Amino acid sequence: MLTDIEIAQAAEMKKIREIAEDMGLSEDELESYGSYMGKFSDEYLKKIEEKPFGKLILVTAINPTPAGEGKTTVTIGLGDALRRAGKKTMIALREPSLGPCFGIKGGAAGGGYSQVVPMEKLNLHFTGDFHAITSANNLLAAALDNHLQQGNQLGIDPKRIILKRCLDMNDRALRNIVIGMGKRVDGVVREDHFIITVATEVMAILCLAEDINDLSRRLSRIIVAYNYKGEPVTAEDLKVVGAMTVLLKDAIRPNLIQTLEHTPAIVHGGPFANIAHGCNSVRATKTALRSADYVVTEAGFGADLGAEKFLDIKCRMAGLKPDAAVLVATVRALKYNGGVPKDQLSDENLDALGKGICNLGKHIENLQKFGLPLVVTLNRFVSDTDAEIEFVRAYCAERGVKLTVSEVWAKGGEGGRELADEVLRLLEEEESQYHPIYDTELPLEEKIRTIATEIYGAKGVEYTAEAKKALADITKLGFGNLPVCMAKTQYSLSDDPKLLGRPEDFTVSIREVYVSAGAGFVVAIAGSIMTMPGLPKVPAAERIGIDENGMTVGLF
């Protein structure tokens, strides 16, 4: 059996110019990055501004497990299936981060015969967007420390610096550091921190900005620190917003690649859904919606994280109205939620399936609360039995939702035909009643409580003294009407990664709260979630290399 990377390397790709021509772009409306990748020109993005939107289909999933769910794989396969059905379709995805690529999961371009290509370039540097974001963030950090060194005219309190440096890599040793050691000219000694690039406010800003001017305005509002009077100090105060914008002027333009079946795919931006808002860029989604009749997009991790933020933050800010949702699950993942060890997931076990399927049930309820027409799809594994599939089908039917079976990993778009047919039926017969789960005019604590109780199923929320004070300060500064971006483990509906299935009678613990004024949301950090991940005992990097023919191996 071929690996994902072997399938991708054997693919016969079209030149990106051909993909663009099929979309109706002229030669000047796409800037090529090699033969198989490109960025849309500013002229094209401006030309299509008045075009009506196509249909927007959100793909989300149950909580991820070591058994695998295949959300990106299903997203790509559904796009290919809709295109096979004669529909003008595009896919809109996030860019992979190098952190998990070399950490736990390897590449993030789909799998099997449902992939976007060129897979290697996408996973390794791509068009340089993440490097630009890293550079812009770290330029701001350098300017801040230089300001301290040069006399600190803004009166910045070194104990209240909010901005963190970043790196697109899992490096736990950089979470908490001391900088400025050495001679007097080497800077002011203070505690500092690193976060992964995808968790930065600069990444969130790039993904939520409507255009380059909006990007610049949002960058200027980044709160980097507080002065001795307790007043916020912004990026605008440090006078480097123009330079940051220049670093990001190409990164803000969406990227175009293709699936194995040559369906156009926009891949742009990549915030993690467990520690950021977890969606591809607004520009990418709107470009796809104005360029196709059907757009399939995904939100990161489970529906409690990525989908909630897609619906409560991104769609609200961008004025988007999703038309339908696809909820991805696997029999293996549901059995894992039911207590089956990873090495026994291939064995039929209806009892465990019955115990773990409540995780799927909670996500169904949550998506229905947002008013979305919904279909559940099982990403099928060869070990799945007919009895197990029928068990899930009956469970979904009891909740008024149809179950489809996807075999896109093995069959590409052909394996997504059943799912595509049901999505098209939903779009034709059911009107989306999309609405966010809370009103932004509610107090911040009430918004956090709504997410915790309505979406996670918690009985309540508790705060550290520091988090309580931060909520009060943020509200006093005038940011109380912003939406909330929860940072929480992806492995559980709760803030404890060990609580699988559908936990009950638990409390969500908020240990830290801060405002991302440029992005336009307040971040609440729950439990022990880290904004700089670490490498596992055996990182994926150990199996990645170059063979004697110069080909990359081991990348998924």
Calpha distance 170→240 (Å, rounded):
27
As a whole number of angstroms, the distance between CA 440 and CA 442 comes to 5
Catalytic residue, candidates 40, 409, 479, 506 = 409
From the list 20, 39, 65, 71, the catalytic residue is 71
276 is catalytic: no
Dihedral pair phi/psi, residue 75, rounded to 5°: -55, -50
Name residue, tokens 């918690």. Answer: 458
What b/e sequence results for 361-391 when a residue is b if at least 16 CB atoms lie within 10 Å of its CB, and e otherwise? bbbbebbbebbbbbbbbbbbbeebeeebbeb
- Determine whether 301 is an active site residue: yes
Q: How far from 495 is each of 116, 353, 486, CA to CA, in Å?
A: 33, 23, 10
Q: Are 119 and 186 in contact (CB under 8 A)?
A: no
Beta strand 194-196 with 484-487: parallel, antiparallel or unpaired? unpaired
Cα separation, 355 vs 335, in Å, equals: 8
Name the strand (E) or helix (H) holding 297: strand 294-298
Q: Is 105 a catalytic site residue?
A: yes
Q: Which of 14, 17, 47, 105 is catalytic?
A: 105
The pair of three-digit structure tokens given for residue 172, joined into one six-digit string: 């736990």
Catalytic residue list contains 381? yes
Taking Cα atoms as reference points, which of 112, 201, 120 lies closest to residue 522? 201
Q: Which residue's structure tokens are 């022990």?
A: 528
Please say if 194 is a catalytic residue. Answer: no
65, 73, 259, 552: which one is catalytic?
A: 73
**Are the CB atoms for 519 and 271 separated by under 8 Å?**
no
> Is 94 an annotated catalytic residue?
yes
Q: How many helices (H) and strands (E) does the chain have?
A: 21, 25
Q: Which of 381, 479, 521, 556 is catalytic?
A: 381
CB 163 within 8 A of CB 225: yes
CA distances, 71 to each of 120, 158, 427 (Å): 19, 43, 20
Active-site pick, 83, 94, 221, 286: 94
Closest CA relative to residue 307, chosen from 365, 252, 258:
365
Q: Is 519 helix (H, G, I), strand (E, B) or coil?
A: coil
Catalytic-role residue among 301, 479, 506, 521:
301
**510 - beta bridge partners?**
463, 526
Does the bond joining 118 to the residue before it have cis omega, within 30 degrees of 0?
A: yes
Catalytic residue, candidates 209, 251, 273, 329? 273
> Would you please indicate which residues are annotated as catalytic (active-site) residues?
71, 73, 94, 105, 273, 301, 381, 409
